[in-house]
Structure 1
């Protein structure tokens, strides 16, 4: 696809508002990344999917560990979303510096403190998605955080919900 077509497609896809998550994996040397390609698949059995760029540092770690966690970000967590989207962020042990987390009970993957909700998943299947892998996760554990607004992504920028006028 030509670059100008990619830009146009990115603009079209940016017309769909999404929530923002940080995906994490790893007990010993965890990794994380910001993602908005997260969705529920099934309640019975409980399944979710996430799409991860094949060249992302998190990608192979999830495949090796066969587990990952999803933290759904709250409106006040935009700095965390930006941090884990920054390709120049510190790597290794410093990647989670100044970010409060707790290890997941089932996977050991970091769960972000203050997240609106979180899920721990076992890797159920991996599907080809072009330059991404589509990761199907079986939900092992899940919970909710503070009762607050969600962080949203729309039109290439972060937003929060506005009160309904209807």
Structure 2
């Protein structure tokens, strides 16, 4: 069965799903590769697995397939400029981390400092996903910051952050008791 979906409508529908923003990075032959990703999610708690989708024509794609290790920096609101930089196609590959506050994880990947949390992953599965590749990684290291709590969000091609409402999943669930 072949289904035809209007591409603009499809993009518009997906744009209405707010997501967090992460920078995914790897280092291949001494060169850092990074990309901004909103297609990132948890898969499993036991074992700890996450996935990210990488566009097949990106420089990052070939590098991460070659290395099999990658870092995820879950950006805080203050990471807007970092997100925009790594979302820009065609930026110079050499020294692309110059001016970006970062540190190195145990695997050597760059982890962005303007983040709420960091993960380091080892690829356990690579699956075709149309014009993207779906990478599933086992989390080998994780860290969180307790001094920041405002995530960078992406919705309809705009950055934002959360507005905390008085109800939460716990208060709503608790009110039904």
TM range (shorter): over 0.9
* Counterpart Cα distance in 1 of 2:166 and 2:109: 40
Tell me which residue corresponds to 1:127: 127
Q: CA deviation at 1:156?
A: 1.5
Query: What's the TM-score once normalised by structure 1's chain length?
Result: 0.93
3-state SS of 1:58 partner: helix
1:88-99 mapped onto 2 (5 Å cutoff): 88-92=90-94, 94-99=95-100
Q: CA deviation at 1:165?
A: 4.9
Higher mean alpha-carbon deviation, 27-36 vs 10-19, is at 27-36
Q: CA deviation at 1:95?
A: 0.8
Higher mean alpha-carbon deviation, 37-46 vs 81-90, is at 81-90
* Counterpart Cα distance in 2 of 1:123 and 1:60: 13
Tell me which residue corresponds to 1:138: 138
For structure 2, list consecutive stretches of 5 or more residues without a partner in the other structure. Answer: 168-177
For structure 1, list consecutive stretches of 5 or more residues without a partner in the other structure. Answer: none
**Cα displacement string for residues 33-66 of structure 1 (whole angstroms, at most 9, x for unaligned residues):** 0000000000100000000001111111111111
Tell me which residue corresponds to 1:59: 61
Aligned length: 161
* Counterpart Cα distance in 2 of 1:142 and 1:153: 23
Query: What's the TM-score once normalised by structure 2's chain length?
Result: 0.87
Larger Rg: 2
Matched, 1:10 2:31: no
Tell me which residue corresponds to 1:100: 101
Tell me which residue corresponds to 1:162: 163
* Counterpart Cα distance in 1 of 2:132 and 2:102: 26
Higher mean alpha-carbon deviation, 120-129 vs 156-165, is at 156-165
3-state SS of 2:115 partner: coil
